[in-house]
Amino acid sequence: MQDSTDGFDLSHARVCVVMNRGSGKKKHQELRHTLEERLAPACGSYTLRESRKGSDLPALARQVAGEEFDLIIAAGGDGTQSAVADALTGSEIVMGVLPGGTFNYFARDLGVGETVEDALETILDARVEAVDVGDVNGLIFLNNLSFGAYPQILKTREGIYKRWGRSRLAAYWSVLVALRRLRNPMQLVARVEGESRRYTSALVFVARSAYQLDSFGLEGAAEIRRGEFAVLIAKAKKPLPLMRSALRMAVGQSAKDDDFDLILTDELQIETPKRRQLVAHDGEKATLDSPFRLQVRHDGLRVLLPRDGVSKTARDEA
């Protein structure tokens, strides 16, 4: 294991880049060329693996994780980053981050650069450091996990996109359609440090990204940086207030602190009467069994960070 104060020796590393080629052909052709030109010559060995669609990424990441690479670089949005992190957490394999999504919360939290160019500079002159990740029933997530309204919005959005195509109008329409279908809020029990708390809510949002929480204008970012979850449970119980609170969280706009109960902890359990529950994690969907056991895996993932501890973005802004 390389010490976190030492630079990562890329020249002797077996490197694999994992990319989802189904999300923009021209964009990924350009990225392939950039990687072959700038990254490949700096590596001991270089391999590129691409998935045909996003749903193939978890299996591809697990396959690559078993092939004795020293460094696996996730090229894509937070869903791609999450799939690779899930495969690598708990192992000695180092993860690199090349952001390619809309929000790139994980890259922003790490400070590795918000563009491919800046993130490549980090990889070319990096150190290794272990970071915390979220775990729910063995599934790793990097930024957030949610129950209730938001998973249903993602499910509804997919159907609307298939019928009408991708657009901002279609995305907003999917929010309204999903919220209109919310009939009853969830009944749930949260168990924290031996204490049980009962809630009635349309939305539970478990945050692990301090950057994302700051962008929502909510408390808890400092505790996330100290290795905890910020668990936000919508307070509203009547239909219109439920819709208003869920809508604010779903579209990422600033939400009022009094809309939510806040739990700060690094371990908890959430139970719902429904045995199987649709959840959203880092923009993806999964169906998991209740109870949901959440824990912060402290220092669970080894990642590349800027060698001098300062991202290029921060240096440019200084």
Please tell me the distance from the alpha carbon of residue 68 to that of residue 64, in angstroms, as a whole number.
Answer: 8
Domains of the chain in sequence order: 14-133+299-306 (3.40.50.10330), 144-281 (2.60.200.40)
**pLDDT score for 21:** 77
Task: Return the residue matching tokens 């060698």.
Answer: 307
Tens of each residue's pLDDT in the chain, 318 residues: 344 456 899 999 999 999 987 555 557 889 999 999 999 999 999 999 999 888 899 999 999 999 999 999 999 989 999 999 999 999 999 999 999 887 899 999 999 999 999 999 999 999 999 999 999 999 999 999 998 876 777 777 667 667 777 665 766 666 666 666 666 778 999 999 999 999 988 888 999 999 988 887 788 999 999 999 999 998 865 556 656 665 665 555 545 556 789 999 999 999 998 899 989 999 888 999 999 999 999 999 999 999 987 544 443 444
Taking the CB of residue 172, how many other CB atoms lie within 10 A of it? 14
pTM over 0.85: yes
**pLDDT score for 316:** 44
- Convert 276-311 to b/e letters by CB count within 10 Å (16 or more is b): ebbbbbbbbebebebbbbbbbbeebbbbbbbbeeeb
| Contact present, 313 and 102 (Cβ < 8 Å) | no
Please tell me the distance from the alpha carbon of residue 89 to that of residue 15, in angstroms, as a whole number.
Answer: 17
**pLDDT score for 119:** 97
**pLDDT score for 234:** 83
Please tell me the distance from the alpha carbon of residue 282 to that of residue 40, in angstroms, as a whole number.
Answer: 29
User: For 90-127, how does the pLDDT look when each residue is reduced to its tens digit (9 = 90+)?
Assistant: 999 999 999 988 789 999 999 999 999 999 999 999 99
